[in-house]
Structure 1
Amino acid sequence: MMDRTEVIAISKIATLISEEKIIRTDDNSVWDKILSNAGQSELYERYEENLQPYTYNGKYENPNRKFKEFFTAIKTILKTVYMESENSGEFQKLMEAIVDAIDFNLILEGNHEELEEGNYYYNFKQYMERVDDRLAKLAMETMPSPAYKEFVLNLNILNLDIQFENRKLKLRPLTEDVEHANQTTSVIMDWLKHDHPAIADVYKEALESYSNGQPVSCIASCRIIMTGLFSESKDEQTKWANGLRNVSTDQNIQNVTAKDIIDNKANRNFNYPRFRSIYGLYVMTCDLGAHNLEGPIIDGSVQREVATMNDALLCLRMTQDVLLWVKATKQR
């Protein structure tokens, strides 16, 4: 069963597609091609009427391209394939076919005529097909539409991402192999709901903040996840880092205090790499999340950190890795 955050991500992707902000559905073959290429021709036959923008009656062709429940059909297809593809990779195949159909003229904004001095291009599609990868990647970095950014953010929630390679957009997993890329979020959520329900709520908030393009909120939630999770393993009248010490499997860590490791006063013969790595993530989530408006004053102004969505993705993925590590460690 899908978690609410995954349902929201799929719904947002379906919204962007149905509003033609990612793919231009301008004839009756578009979704036939996408679903057939993904091995989902049966779903096309089931929802064919909803996926065709044109209706025919003799020689009549609908000039308004009105769909019948287009959004509902797209959302249902995405949700159906996602739920049924836990171990088959079918959802990745479907998203690959969708990414192949993305229209550069929809997802890039600005004046394409100014992209390369001395050359003229009729549109972004022509530009992206003709220039070298360096210039094409620069366009993807500097001129993406808000809708495309939202599309990628919601793909990230489903553990997928998009890269530009060899003049084409390519679907890629964020951290795992393609066949299992959509499982991590559900595995973590199921475990948290069962063993750590309070942390599950914050994890959901982190995912939703990322999906909504709110990096500071996402990063702040990651900090709360770690301090909350390790607080459950600490001793009485100690801080959360003592819980990290109790969970960590570093050599000699049971013979030193968490404070001594943090203050570099612990036995110097040991590096305590697991503890230090996770504590370093905590420091980063503090600086970019809850304390991002703090900073030193230089020349009369506060030098604050500016958290980006790339920072949020880094913190979210690292937090997920920590959660998976804790889950595996406790199951030993």
Structure 2
Amino acid sequence: MDTLQKIAISKIADILSSTNLIIPQVDIWKKIFNNAGLSELYESRAPQFTTIVEVYGYGSDDKNLYHNEKCYNGLHESFKELEYNREELLKLFNNITEKISIFNVFIENIEKEIKKEVPKIKDMYIDEYLKKVELPEKNILLNKYSNKNFKLLRNNFNILALDICFDEEGLCVLPFTGSITEKDFDNSILMQWLSLKYPNIAMSYTDAIKAYSNSDDAACISHCRNIITGIFTYKKDEQRKWLDGLKKVCYKDKNIINVQANKIGEYNYNANSPDVNARYQYPRFNFIYKLYSFTCALGAHINEGNVSDATVDFEDVTLEDAFMALKATEAVLIWIYQTNAL
């Protein structure tokens, strides 16, 4: 059975070859591969990428252009060939994404939807509007108003731990997270997003990765704790703790609106409980709060423990624990980013 990653690669090739996200043009695929420095890969499958030109009307210059019926196979085989060369595959994906038509990314009548939200703006096409707004707003629009084909493409990139977003130049493909080393970790969706909106959290995230790189397990976990408490602090009300922000972000948890944030962790789920609030599981809130507890116990509070026979029974922390804390914290950040919760 094929892995989810192999299926995702197939679907990416299918979407690109069977839709007009990339508008068919003569030599469009040649340009894409050559711009990625992969001319030899293109030449090995050139006939599969030749754009089909169909002239209609006797003596007319009118014509329709289509992606080659073999284009799927050419893309699929090319992606598979680069599957274990992450750097080259990412380069090809980026050159493909650069050629995606902005007009074919968003839902129909997106301009009307924007006008509803920002009534005071003058009428303009989406490409003009994107030139006038800041980067965070561009990515909010992309998350909120992309069409079915683009969403499907983006979902399959997500399976490969990649995402399509706007940078200063236009659409690009970036990994959700960088490698777990200091080298190149800043070239990721999370760092771009955090640096723009939450620079102090970006700093803690950087510190967590540096600590892991240096095999400082407890420090890495402590920085993860700071990320968790810090990111949800942005959502809390005045004179409230970070848990108030966590509760608001986890608004999809059933019944959470009816309970106090600092009480949720005390409920033991029981569908038959006489306390109606204990009949709900609060899954998102509890997952993140448990992660916070984990990062406290093996990070900031690592030197605390039960006293037994006049000695302190400390928890032991390992680099594997730090890796788990870092990846789980990254997963929470990705979830916040994807859901526009903050």
TM superposition score normalised by structure 1:
0.50
SS at 1:63 equivalent: strand
Aligned pair partner of 2:92 in 68, 91, 94: 94
SS at 2:64 equivalent: coil
For residues 168 and 157 of structure 1, do their structure 2 counterparts lie closer, same or farther at Cα, with a shift above 3 Å needed?
Answer: same
Q: Does the alignment pair 1:120 with 2:123? A: yes
Q: Does the alignment pair 1:16 with 2:15? A: yes
Match of 1:70 in 2: 71
Match of 1:30 in 2: 28
Instruction: Return 5+ residue gaps in structure 1 as ranges.
Output: 182-248, 252-272, 281-286, 319-323
Cα contact 2:21–2:104 (8 A) shared by 1: yes
Cα contact 2:5–2:160 (8 A) shared by 1: yes
Superposed CA deviations along residues 45-73 of structure 1, whole A, max 9, x for unmatched, are 2222221222489x998636362322111
Separation in 2 of the partners of 1:297 and 1:138? 25
Give the CA deviation at 1:148: 2.0
Separation in 2 of the partners of 1:149 and 1:305? 28
Superposed CA deviations along residues 235-286 of structure 1, whole A, max 9, x for unmatched, are xxxxxxxxxxxxxx999xxxxxxxxxxxxxxxxxxxxx69x98xx9xxxxxx
Cα contact 2:217–2:322 (8 A) shared by 1: no
Match of 1:129 in 2: 131
Give the CA deviation at 1:180: 8.8
The amino acid that maps onto 2:29 is W
Equivalent residues in 2 for 1:220-259, closer than 5 Å? none
Give the CA deviation at 1:32: 1.0
The amino acid that maps onto 1:140 is L
Equivalent residues in 2 for 1:1-332, closer than 5 Å? 4-20=3-19, 22-24=21-23, 26-55=24-53, 63=64, 65=66, 67-83=68-84, 85=85, 89-114=87-112, 115=114, 116-117=118-119, 118-122=121-125, 124-166=126-168, 168-177=170-179, 295=255, 298=258, 325=320
For residues 125 and 51 of structure 1, do their structure 2 counterparts lie closer, same or farther at Cα, with a shift above 3 Å needed?
Answer: farther
RMSD between aligned residues: 4.7
Larger CA deviation: 132-141 vs 15-24? 132-141
Cα contact 2:49–2:67 (8 A) shared by 1: no
SS at 1:120 equivalent: coil
Cα contact 1:163–1:169 (8 A) shared by 2: yes
Aligned length: 213
Larger CA deviation: 172-181 vs 128-137? 172-181
For residues 64 and 92 of structure 1, do their structure 2 counterparts lie closer, same or farther at Cα, with a shift above 3 Å needed?
Answer: closer
Match of 1:218 in 2: none
